[in-house]
């Protein structure tokens, strides 16, 4: 991890991009701009979008102007897109959590209320985090196959706006009832694990960050800067098995359940039967077969001074764990 550093707003140039399709985006855009200017961000360009279709091009154009700070207001999908845009550059990413789950902000311990999140841009410090990729497509939290894709399909914008975080358990129950089990082969190109042939699966997930799905943890040790992907696969069981797993989702200890396979790695290829969609931070943006990698220290991001995120430099190659 590179040494953290503060930002100096009165000497910095910032671009604020707000996705108006996110749960609070449309209502928060003007307030976010006003708060940033009040905090001293005088050289500020604001771009408000009606939806996510223009987000990649807008973020790319913003980064091309080489601002000191790119602030993205939106949900986890918008922030993943922003992270992909700044990855490998000197542009710092700022986070305004305006979505439903806001799991990336939860991992970084960025406050969910807008005034405090804006204050973090000025009062926080900059750290480096990893970026996950499926092929070339970036993600921050978790990429998953199976049940979570069904959940995403059930999570309509109307449901999220009406129920907020409660939309996730409602959509999960609906997706669980309609789920079709699948088979998957997990291949490890670096040879750190033996190939896993798994059948009758509920879900396969590949985590870069710590939180997903409205506050669930990928594993007890998952971190945004350990240079590892946390991989788990849940084998379908009886209802009581799934209930016992669900009770352990918040702290990630479900990975020790007898119906869960868990490994940590740097590269992974997943082949499923049949081919399936891949959910990346709430967006179905890829299909299997899929190659997963982690890009070390790829993104500079502002976090609160008290944040416990991004405090590692990553373990050595021998530190990968396994449970299967």
Catalytic residues: 283
Q: Which class for 177: exposed (0-12), middle (13-18), buried (19 or more C-beta within 10 A)?
A: exposed
Assess contact for 282 and 260: CB atoms under 8 A: no
Q: Distance between CA 77 and CA 53 in Å, rounded?
A: 12
**Alpha-carbon separation of residue 206 from 38, 181, 209, 312 (angstroms):** 40, 18, 9, 20
Asked, as a colleague might, if the bond just before 274 is cis with ω within 30 of 0, I would say yes
Distance between CA atoms of residues 219 and 248, nearest Å: 10
> Apex CA 276: angle with CA 273 and CA 280, to 5°?
140
Q: Do the beta carbons of residue 172 and residue 147 sit within 8 Å?
A: yes
> What helix, strand, coil percent values describe the chain, rounded to 5?
30, 35, 35
DSSP tag of 305: T
């Amino acid at each position: 991890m590179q040494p953290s550093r503060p930002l100096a707003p009165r000497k910095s140039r910032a671009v604020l991009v707000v996705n108006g399709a996110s749960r609070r985006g449309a209502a928060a855009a003007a307030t976010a701009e006003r708060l940033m200017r009040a905090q001293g961000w005088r050289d500020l360009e604001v771009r408000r979008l009606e939806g996510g279709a223009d987000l990649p091009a807008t973020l790319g154009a913003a980064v091309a102007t080489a601002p000191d700070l790119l602030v993205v207001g939106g949900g986890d999908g918008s922030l993943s897109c922003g992270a992909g845009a700044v990855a490998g550059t000197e542009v710092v990413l700022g986070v305004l959590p305006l979505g439903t789950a806001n799991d990336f902000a939860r991992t970084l311990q960025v406050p969910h209320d807008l005034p405090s999140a804006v204050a973090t841009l000025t009062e926080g410090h900059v750290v480096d985090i990893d970026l996950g990729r499926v092929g070339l497509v970036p993600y921050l939290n978790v990429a998953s196959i199976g049940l979570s894709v069904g959940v995403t399909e059930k999570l309509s914008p109307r449901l999220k706006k009406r129920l907020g975080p409660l939309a996730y358990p409602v959509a999960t129950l609906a997706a669980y009832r309609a789920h079709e089990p699948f088979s998957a082969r997990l291949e490890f190109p670096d040879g750190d694990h033996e190939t896993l042939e798994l059948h009758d699966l509920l879900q396969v997930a590949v985590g870069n960050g710590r939180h997903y799905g409205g506050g669930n943890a990928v594993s007890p040790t998952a971190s945004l800067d350990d240079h590892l992907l946390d991989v788990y696969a849940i084998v379908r069981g009886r209802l009581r098995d799934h209930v016992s797993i669900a009770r352990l989702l918040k702290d990630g200890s479900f990975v020790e359940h007898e119906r869960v396979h868990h490994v940590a790695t740097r590269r992974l290829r997943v082949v499923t039967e049949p081919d399936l969609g891949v959910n990346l931070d709430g967006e179905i943006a890829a299909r299997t077969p899929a190659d997963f990698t982690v890009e070390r220290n790829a993104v500079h991001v502002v976090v609160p001074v008290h944040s416990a995120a991004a405090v590692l430099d990553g373990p050595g190659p021998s530190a990968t764990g396994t449970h299967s």
